[in-house]
Chain A
Amino acid sequence: MKKKFMCMLMAAAMTLSMAACGSKSDDTNTDANTDGTDSAEVQTFKLGSSGPLTGDAAIYGMAVVQGAELAVNEINASDSKIKFEFQKQDDEADGEKAVNAYNTMMDWGMQVLVGPTTTGASIAVADACYNDRTFMLTPSASSTDVTAGKDNVFQVCFTDPNQGVGAADYMAENYAGAKVAVIYRNDDAYSQGIRDTFVKEATDKGAFEVVYEGTFTNDTASDFSVQLAGAQNAGADLVFLPIYYQPASIIFSQAKAMGYAPTFFGVDGMDGILTMPGFDASLAEGLMLMTPFSATDEANQAFVDAYTAAYGTEPNQFAADAYDGVYIVKAALEAAGCTADMSNEEICDALVSAMTSLKFTGLTGTDMTWNAEGQVSKAPTAYVVKDGQYVKG
């Protein structure tokens, strides 16, 4: 009996260890040198990405790692001299887990990080990257705290202040004298950050008036009747929504149900609303949004088609940011003349000096440049939804 048990135990242990080997080769793309190019010239770098692949924020993390993976596969399939080995890790949008994920990838030999996805996790990882001298380019963590004081951390997306100021300036120009209500999520760094700079800029400009502010949290993101009634009673004819598109879709349908039809104004988190499953696109008619990326823009069709073919969903701006991120890293590696045998410290130092002189045109912006603080400079484009399509406004 005891013998039998031990046998089973051994068998189980062996199956487990074999399963482990099998899946290990799954999540890395080691096809870099198989296309017959001269391996002496091809440089294969180890690139890592992380984001929440499980839990509430998984939709953003999945978009980021898939966008990055798509770019890596494209580069590896091309005749580029720079190729990547890619690894993605789940960070659960949590600082502790993100640092664990980062450490795991460093054990693997990661040389450049395109991640993490969310702000809180990125700040924690940025600190580790700064101490280890690992180059970090976050596709989507938009807070200024991510890059502050760290010379080797860069962003692909707009910073929160950038978006808040951009939206306020646009409104001051196009909706002077409007009464504006703001509905935002006050337990979310992204939403709160944009709201703070928006209201500050609005007060400084004085071209329009913020008449109402309504807040919600992750737990109360299913009913907005109180906030909408507040905005309506305050006489707001424009509602600014610095939030993601899922709660916004509820706001639109509830506003319609109560017969309240102001102009809604969103930021980059609103991108993706038209392709949200089960969403009636007519509700978003007339929605203004400022986003660096639009899936319906003709210039982005090749990317959108490739992404849809690979993953079965339309990409949002997170995927586009990560896709750009990989190409930005590639461009910077080329500019700095890095070779694959360099350590992460050497690559980091080379890339830091290359980034500030780099000019990059991708899905999410033309002629993007970076300042020494790691913030990107690109212009957001204002779109308006007309007949279920984004039209440049």
Chain B
Amino acid sequence: MKKKAITPLIAAVLLVIFVLLLFTFQVPQSQVVVVSTFLKPTDTITNAGLYVKWPWPVQSLTRFDQRVQISEDKFSETYLADHSILLANLFVGWRISDGRQFMNVFKNGSTASAQQQLEQILRSAKLAVFAHYGLSDFVNSDATQLKFNEVEKDIQASVDKELAQNNYGIRIEFLGIKQIGLPDSVTKTVFGRMKAERTILINTAQYGGEADAAKIRAAAERQAADVLANAQADATRIEGEGQAEAAKTLAVFQQNPDLAVFQLELAALKSSMNKNTTLFFDETKPPFDIFRKLPASPETK
């Protein structure tokens, strides 16, 4: 009984597997699948999962990568509104938005063909849009004058329009300027100008430094003179205050000016007589007048 049950079970399992393989298919996360019934596209599946289909030749599947592909156009010359020449290339993130349409437009759904087509569209959009902007819109010290984002938006709008008009089944996710440059010959001229600017900067730094240093020193000298003048003024004021304060005491000396004068002269005499003083005197000045008061010697008499 057991033996009899297992054999059909195995057969049933194998049959189920065969049927599943025949009638189901998977759509991975990254793919979009176009289901064709008798070679005519009838359905597009974009969500990952397990799906049912009729076996070949009734229904067949075409798979596309629905992830964002990044492409870029050639680094090529473009003419600007101010007649400048700028080299630029763009990068673009795009994806297949409509698998059926994509399959119809590009032979065998070739991504490489789509990229070529997209590069052509990018190039013509770039040429058209850049022609409306000047060099100062791309490089400018004043950030408000820059129109980098506007240029990118204009190009994307132009590309979107072209893709929609021709119904390529492609959608642009993002677009940007990858690189800008100048023609080879222009870089030589720019180098010449940059070299001249460097020379000016060297001279400016050299002479400017000397001038600035001289200014700093002169200002310092001036400021120091001011400080000293102010100090002298303060000193004069302080002396004046001292004299004013002393003047209050002078009334005391008014009691006897002769004594006051005598005291001052005496003090002056004391302070002026020092070791190096040479003093000449005679007998008429006190205390040497004492010699005149001596009694005469007997011989003198």
The finding on whether chains A and B are genuine partners in a shared complex, rather than unrelated, reads no
Binding site for A on B (CB under 8 A): none
Residues of A within 8 A of B (CB): none
